[in-house]
Structure 1
Amino acid sequence: MIGVCGLFVLIAHIVVSTYIPREVCTTYSVPGDVNIGGLFSLHGDGDVSEMEGCRGRYPVSALQLTEAMAFAVMTINQDDSVLPNVTLGFIIHDDCSWPEYSIWCSLSLVLGAQPSLEDDFCNIPGPNIGTTERMAVGIIGTAKTSSSEVVINTVELFERPLVSYGATDQELHGEHGHPYFFSTIPSDSHKAEAIVDILAHYNWEYTAVVYSSDHDIMHLLHDILDLANSHSMCMDVQVMLSEVPTVDELRVMVEVLQEHRHAKVILLLVSSAAAANAVMSAVSTAEPPLERTWVASDSWGTQLVRDRRSQGGVFIEYSKPKLTEFEEYFRSLLTGLNTTQNPWFNEFCSGSDICQESSEEGFSGEIATLAPTIDAVLSVAYALDQTISDLCNNSISNCIFQKGFDDNLFRNLQKVSFPGTRGQFEFEGNFVPAQVSVKNMQRQEGGGFELVEIGSWSSVLMDGERLTIDERLVQWVEGNSDIPQSVCRDVCPVGYVEEIDSTKRCCWKCRACRVDDIVVGTECVSCEQNEWPNSNYTVCDKLHAKTVTWDEPAVISLIFLSSLGLLLCVLATIGMIKHRRHPLIKASSRELSCVNLLGLFLSFVTVYPLLCPPSATSCGMGTILYVSSFTLIFASLLLKVNRIYRIFESSTKTVRPPRYTGPIAQLVIVALLVMIQPLLILITALVKPGSWTSIRNLFPIPPRNQPRTLEIFCDLDIGFLVAMSYNFALLGACCFFAYKARNVPGNFNEARFYVASVYTTLVPILAAMPMYFTADNAISLAISICLVLIINGYVTVGCVYLPKLYIATFKKVTEQENNHQSLSVQSRRTFVLSGDSNRVHPSTS
């Protein structure tokens, strides 16, 4: 093995040419029957290139870590239950916080070499190697992942375990990691899970990240980003700082955070309290002020400046138990009650009260790596105890470095279990399970600020149960009780939905829905035609149906015209009864005139139910009266004009009057024509129920961006159309016979009036049809339908009855007119053929 080691050292000397300061040669050692090594960083603020690599001194906590290892070894040696009859020793090196120095220090430990000082240079591992008294069976360290990565590459060649108290990168023992690496502090993966669980707990979807370029922080950030993506969180706003941030870096950081105003929560990942305080100071002086909630993930939370800048911040810390026995031990060194061989003790503690101030009761609870250091020593000791028991028969003189010892020690270290400083200790995948305290920076009653524990996170629990937070204990920025919102989206007003902003990654913008849409989640959903969104655009409400009202000017006009038409019908009826003996009235077929007047009366009455609020009763009554009035009017007119045409047509051929022109025959015929209509109404009502009582929904086109309105009116369904088709057939027949009767002598003015009535009726009907089918409001429908009735009624009254009543009332009847009925048919024929209009009377009887 020595030959291999010598070759390795020779290659290392040739390949690696680096300056090793003399401070690295200093070791803290207490030899024993079996030794373990330790790599700690007590110095290292300088620049290696400037030969200042070990001139800067770390805080007292670095010294306390070395004494924690010494204390743990001393505790093992005093416990007969662990390594009985075996003295455990240790050799501690200062790696000056540089990976290059850690390599040489680890080589010195595994090779059993004593570093030698040559002038101002440290010669590691030194000229004498292979001294078993100085060989370390395992190494405790280092504090950083970057250093542990290079050290494990060295020590695993010798199959020695490296038990770190501060390295947290899961990749050191991942699928392609190093099996000989162990860590007594939870991995970054647990820390990342705890952070993401907290962000998810408060629905912080859009988070800014301020991080330092430290190797360990970069690995932690990578783990956090992977988990955040799986939880649909966005951490697109990232600001990287140096381990010691410059003024320019801090200024750029503030500008970036101000630009991304939606990132109300900032994840702070830096490696030191000095860097964190520099960030907080820069943010506190920003204009305009940056009121943000900070989430931090490192042990320096206890060293953070505690003021309103960090108020409301959420800090996660690994379990840091109070180590009372070690505190007493360390204070005994300061008071001289106990002695130490620690070569750095006087450097840190002489001539200054800093060690006394840093060793007040409870200081162990502020150092995150103190308990892991002691547990690391204990884990190696318990594994050694089991290995010696298995291989050495309680005698270690010849078996420590025999073949198979290192491999057996490795296996025992994997399954070691003992009462540690943080409870029962055992490795879980070469790391330890994570017990995390969740703390909140809060203002105290006295005005100060303290970290208050508000919950915990445990890696051993199931998902959904790992994080517990007592919301009653949480205090946010400025003491606000409302949870901060950290999402890149504006609060959308009612009627708007969120959609991805194509100009900003991870952000959402508001898009207006259509005026007739409601908002369902992130979608615009259209309301039905008879619905309209409520004021909050959350529910489609049914539209309140409106119809024509009798206070509208157009309706008032229709009612007035209809009432006047009824009055004219009444007057015409009275006049017809009063002058029923008048030759002109008798000649116009009084029986058919009664039917015709009944139709006119119904046509004017029909206007009233049509203008009432639509219902099955009003619509059924209105539409049935509508078609019936037309049937009565057109059936009687048809017989009248047909009778005139037939009489004058037959008079040119014979003196005998045409058949079926008498009063009884005319009434029978008109009754048959009228009875067809009720039959059609009954058939259509049976074939399609409701065709006479249906109501039509109308949706007037509203002004731009105004609510839709619903209006209702009686629907002219298939039954109405069938019935009106029959009326159109009667009307067509009237037009035909009116055309045929166009040559009736001028004195027969009744035929002319019938022709005018029939033709004039066609005009409003043809005008009303397109208006009805294109109308989108109730008033247009009312006007188009009712005016047809009114106009037809007025034309018929004006053309057929008023002239007769005028003649019967205001003109005297001549003797010739009184005796016109005595004229023979032959005389009528002669007069008609001769065209003597002065002697021909309009009577057709």
Structure 2
Amino acid sequence: MSEVFLCLIISIMANMDHKCKLRDTFDLNGMYKKGHIMLGGLFEISFKTIIPEFLDFSVFQWAQTMVFAIEEINKDQTLLPNVTLGYRIFDNCVRLPVALRAAVTLVGGLDEVSTEINCNGAPPVLAIVGDPGSTHSIALSRIVGLFRMPMVSYYATCACLSNKQEYPSFFRTIPSDTFQVKAMAQIIKYFNWSWVGIIGSDDDYGQYAVRTFYEEIAKFGCISFSETIPKVNEIGKVQQIINTIKQSTAKVITVFSSGVDVTALVREAVRQNITDRQWIASEGWSTSTVLSSKENFRSFGGTIGIAIRRGNIPGLNEFLLQVHPDINSGKNVIQQFWEKMFECRFSENITNSFSWKECTGEENINNTQSAYSDVSDLRASYNVYKAVYAIAHALHNLNSCEKGNGPFENNSCADIVHVQPWQVNTHSGERVAFDENGDALATYDIVNWQLNTDGNTEIKTIGVFDKASGSGKELFLKENEMFWNFASGKPPQSVCSKSCLPGTRKATRKGEPVCCFDCIPCAEGEISGQTDADECDKCQPDSWSNPERTQCVQKEVEFLSYEDALGIALTAVSLSGAALSLAVLAVFIYYRETPVVKANNSELSFLLLISLILCFLCSLCFIGKPTYLTCILRHVVFGISFVLCISCILVKTIVVIMAFKATLPGKNIMKWFRSLQQRGTVFLFTLIQALICVIWVVISPPAPSRNTKYQNSKIILECDIGSITGFSCLMGYIGFLASICFVLAFLARKLPDNFNEAKFITFSMIIFCTVWLTFIPAYISTPGKYTVAVEIFTILASSFGIITTIFFPKCYIILIRPERNTKKFLMPIPANTGYKAGTNPGQGANPPRDTHKHTHTPSTH
């Protein structure tokens, strides 16, 4: 509290020692009363300087409130005892030139001044309450600031006036527009309005507010249009503003203006029946009873406004009703008020032949109802009241200062250089806080234009904005008490583009504000879990976006399972193949003494059938969730089983060729390739594959892996082959043996015999090679679990190809045509061949002599 008092005291003291000289006098309307200390006042009471056509009753109430506060202080024996305050109040007529004349008059005075060089004494006024206009205050502060005369405004809100370097002696009891703009922006943000039009008056108040409003709205929204209300009533400009409002898609329009300046715009909007708009009013016109009239309600009903905090002044109503005109009192503005109130003229003011009712001065003001006598909504008047008491408390501290015990440097009572933030407790008991710029901390009422039960407009308080609130929340609204002038009865939507739902992102339109955008669905694997997302977020590698693109879900883990229909079918086929091989093995064992089995090299046939069983069963390792064990087993078992199978077929082919291609008569080369050598050859071929598998497993074994490359929405559990070289060697070795077997069988396919096994081996190798050659492109191009299915199908197809081409013909003879299961049928050899019929070539029988041409040659089996 002491800081503001000190600031005011120093300014007052500076004026006490100031030397002055009267330069000119002006004819101004006002009120005057003599006192020990004079206070000045500036008010916008009327709208013209000569014979006012309009007098604002509410503003006259403000001026009377200043008089009331001074009278109340003079009666108070504790505040400024033995000191009488006087006042000199002028009407600036809402004109800057008049306001400047009034300010100069307040500084220089109206009385005669001594011509002595040193003219001591109190200045005409020690402080000024006013001016209400921001533009006026800027101009006046530059003048009175030269004399360090304090100006305490009750209505000038321009943020520019907070600059203490430019306006060191300016103070105010109304918050800066910086806070008002913040309050309005918070209301707009509260209702999610992001597309707003803005209109400002063509003065410092309007333009500074518009500039600050741009900055606040840019944090969450955009400005659809910006217009300026001319100070001079230009109907063409006003109509152009209305056309802009019509064409804009913005439903919310914010207006920073005084009530006088916005009047023409309001009238034109009503005339053109502009509806379906939500108006946001600044404190300059939000509580105007003229603008909120019933006639304007269709277009402006539901207006939300920022209003100065309402207060209560006990005794003001009675004081206002005691006003009485006195021609000789120097209070000519009261005469103008009286004439306007009762629509009459005092005799000395009747200057034309127009028939005027003469004022008697005895009219009863108690019988009138106007904004002057309405004290139910004291806002600006309350700020005037606080301004007077702030000055009074500063003077009281100056008057009470004891020499040597002052609050300043060296305990002095006089000089102060630096002004710090201060607080003052007014007579009304309300705590008034000021910041370092001399601005009152912002507390606003939020008002709403509504119709009351009488059908008249009521400016109802529906919330508060309290900048000094310690709760962290500054805006408080009673939504259930708000009136919306829309058919829906709900808050409008004011957006350039509708909000993008979760699952989409905003894509700004080229050349348009950021609030105008298109909603683009997030790409696969990306999500947006909130409304109006600027970017979509990528999911983690093990998750994927749901179909709505609103959240990441765990990717489906895919592998060929025993529970899948495909897995069940392949399992059944695999087991069927193994069972079929086992059945053939059982048939061969059971009929092992018959010529067909003996001629077919029974030992190799048994081993081949066992390897086929392993080939069918190894496909089961490919079904189910891959593990380290199954990944190793599936390739090792597969590689060894097929090499064992192909080795048996290859040895059988070699035996056939050696039996029938011996070119030296009388030489039995089969003795060099008997059963032991045959088993050793099969073992050697298989051992090589086993070594390849061991080296592969030791160096870089197959292992389970999570493949996310082929299908983004799924994780494919598969076996990574580890070493490509190892896998290539395994497959290449199988292919190498199969190729040799195919070539040898192909060469022996035309050997004379009723039952030439080389033909069946050739067919089996054709099937085997064809299947595996087809497997390569199918394996590469098939995604997911079907890759494994293709591999299983290839194993099964090649296995079935071998068993059907090699063993089915023999089983046919053994089971279906047993009459052919004889030595005679198999080897009908003439007696002079020297070949012992029924002898197994693989068991060391002498090869046939090809010395004669026969119709039937000996069997090669």
Alignment of 1:21-32 (within 5 A): 24-32=27-35
Kindly indicate whether residue 528 of structure 2 is the aligned counterpart of residue 519 of structure 1: yes
Q: Distance in 2 between matches of 1:478 and 1:650?
A: 110
Change (3 A) 1:351 1:198: closer
Query: Alpha-carbon deviation of 1:331?
Result: 0.6
Alignment-derived partner of residue 43 in structure 1: 46
Q: Per-residue displacement from partner, 1:96-154 (whole Å, max 9, x unpaired)?
A: 22111222222233223369xxxxxxxx9xxxx98979833333332212222232333
Q: Distance in 2 between matches of 1:545 and 1:690?
A: 18
Q: Residue 172 of structure 1 is aligned with which of 161, 166, 191?
A: 161
Task: Say if 1:277 and 1:305, in contact at 8 Å, map to a contact too.
Answer: no
Q: Per-residue displacement from partner, 1:447-499 (whole Å, max 9, x unpaired)?
A: 76534434333344459344444556555555979766555442324531123
Alignment-derived partner of residue 16 in structure 1: none
Alignment-derived partner of residue 831 in structure 1: 849
Q: What TM-score does the superposition give when structure 2 sets the normalisation length?
A: 0.75
Kindly indicate whether residue 278 of structure 2 is the aligned counterpart of residue 292 of structure 1: yes
Query: Alpha-carbon deviation of 1:301?
Result: 1.9
Alignment of 1:393-792 (within 5 A): 417=424, 419-421=426-428, 423-424=430-431, 428=435, 429-442=437-450, 450-461=458-469, 464-470=472-478, 473-474=481-482, 476=484, 486-493=494-501, 495-507=503-515, 508-521=517-530, 522=533, 523-527=535-539, 531-541=543-553, 542-543=555-556, 545=558, 547=560, 570=583, 574=587, 578=591, 580-582=593-595, 585-600=597-612, 603=615, 609=620, 626-627=638-639, 629-647=641-659, 652=664, 655-667=667-679, 669-670=681-682, 673-674=685-686, 691=703, 694=704, 723-735=730-742, 737-738=744-745, 749-776=756-783, 778-779=785-786, 782-783=789-790, 785-787=792-794, 789-791=796-798
Question: Which stretches in structure 2 are left out of the alignment for 5+ residues?
Answer: 1-14, 344-364, 404-411
Root-mean-square deviation over aligned CA pairs: 5.2
Change (3 A) 1:28 1:338: closer
Alignment of 1:301-450 (within 5 A): 301-303=287-289, 304-305=292-293, 307=297, 309-310=299-300, 312-333=302-323, 342-350=331-339, 352-353=341-342, 357-358=368-369, 363-366=374-377, 368-387=379-398, 417=424, 419-421=426-428, 423-424=430-431, 428=435, 429-442=437-450, 450=458
Q: Per-residue displacement from partner, 1:54-103 (whole Å, max 9, x unpaired)?
A: 53322222333333333333333333444444443333333222111222
Alignment-derived partner of residue 8 in structure 2: none
Change (3 A) 1:804 1:112: closer
Query: Alpha-carbon deviation of 1:635?
Result: 1.6
- Name the aligned partner's letter for residue 369 of structure 1: A
Q: Per-residue displacement from partner, 1:402-454 (whole Å, max 9, x unpaired)?
A: xxx99879999997955344725576543433332223445657776534434
Query: Alpha-carbon deviation of 1:281?
Result: 7.3
Q: Secondary structure at the match of 2:603?
A: helix
Change (3 A) 1:319 1:241: same
Q: Distance in 2 between matches of 1:493 and 1:142?
A: 51
Q: Secondary structure at the match of 2:126?
A: strand
- Name the aligned partner's letter for residue 836 of structure 1: K
Alignment-derived partner of residue 102 in structure 1: 99
Task: Say if 2:154 and 2:174, in contact at 8 Å, map to a contact too.
Answer: yes
Q: Secondary structure at the match of 1:332?
A: coil
Q: Distance in 2 between matches of 1:414 and 1:839?
A: 128
Task: Say if 1:195 and 1:297, in contact at 8 Å, map to a contact too.
Answer: no
Alignment of 1:804-819 (within 5 A): 809-810=819-820, 812-813=824-825, 816=829
Q: Distance in 2 between matches of 1:414 and 1:785?
A: 86
Q: Distance in 1 between matches of 2:248 and 2:341?
A: 46
Change (3 A) 1:591 1:283: farther
Q: Secondary structure at the match of 1:178?
A: coil
- Name the aligned partner's letter for residue 663 of structure 1: S
Kindly indicate whether residue 836 of structure 2 is the aligned counterpart of residue 822 of structure 1: yes
Change (3 A) 1:271 1:299: closer
Query: Alpha-carbon deviation of 1:33?
Result: 3.8
Q: Distance in 1 between matches of 2:786 and 2:179?
A: 74
Q: Distance in 2 between matches of 1:360 and 1:622?
A: 97
Change (3 A) 1:728 1:259: same
Q: Distance in 1 between matches of 2:836 and 2:443?
A: 131
Query: Alpha-carbon deviation of 1:713?
Result: 7.6
In percent, how many aligned pairs have the same letter? 21
Alignment-derived partner of residue 268 in structure 1: 255
- Name the aligned partner's letter for residue 439 of structure 1: V
Change (3 A) 1:673 1:460: closer
Alignment-derived partner of residue 238 in structure 1: 226
In terms of fraction of residues, the more helix-rich structure is 1
Task: Say if 2:320 and 2:373, in contact at 8 Å, map to a contact too.
Answer: no
Q: Distance in 1 between matches of 2:47 and 2:700?
A: 98
Q: Distance in 1 between matches of 2:244 and 2:53?
A: 33
Alignment-derived partner of residue 346 in structure 2: none
Q: Distance in 2 between matches of 1:779 and 1:483?
A: 57
Q: Distance in 1 between matches of 2:80 and 2:581?
A: 130
- Name the aligned partner's letter for residue 436 of structure 1: Y
Query: Alpha-carbon deviation of 1:563?
Result: 5.8
Query: Alpha-carbon deviation of 1:324?
Result: 3.5
Stretch moving more, 32-41 or 778-787? 778-787
- Name the aligned partner's letter for residue 239 of structure 1: E
Q: What TM-score does the superposition give when structure 1 sets the normalisation length?
A: 0.76
Change (3 A) 1:241 1:675: same
Q: Residue 63 of structure 1 is aligned with which of 53, 60, 63?
A: 60
Q: Distance in 2 between matches of 1:803 and 1:422?
A: 119
Change (3 A) 1:789 1:156: closer
Higher RCO (CA-CA < 8 Å; seq separation 6+): 2
Alignment-derived partner of residue 49 in structure 1: none
Task: Say if 1:61 and 1:367, in contact at 8 Å, map to a contact too.
Answer: no
Alignment of 1:2-21 (within 5 A): 9=23
Query: Alpha-carbon deviation of 1:843?
Result: 3.3
- Name the aligned partner's letter for residue 771 of structure 1: A
Alignment-derived partner of residue 395 in structure 1: none
Task: Say if 1:500 and 1:506, in contact at 8 Å, map to a contact too.
Answer: yes
Q: Secondary structure at the match of 2:860?
A: coil
Query: Alpha-carbon deviation of 1:386?
Result: 4.8
Task: Say if 1:138 and 1:380, in contact at 8 Å, map to a contact too.
Answer: yes
Alignment-derived partner of residue 704 in structure 1: none
Stretch moving more, 471-480 or 231-240? 471-480
Q: Secondary structure at the match of 2:54?
A: coil
Alignment-derived partner of residue 223 in structure 1: 212
Query: Alpha-carbon deviation of 1:532?
Result: 4.2
Change (3 A) 1:621 1:30: closer
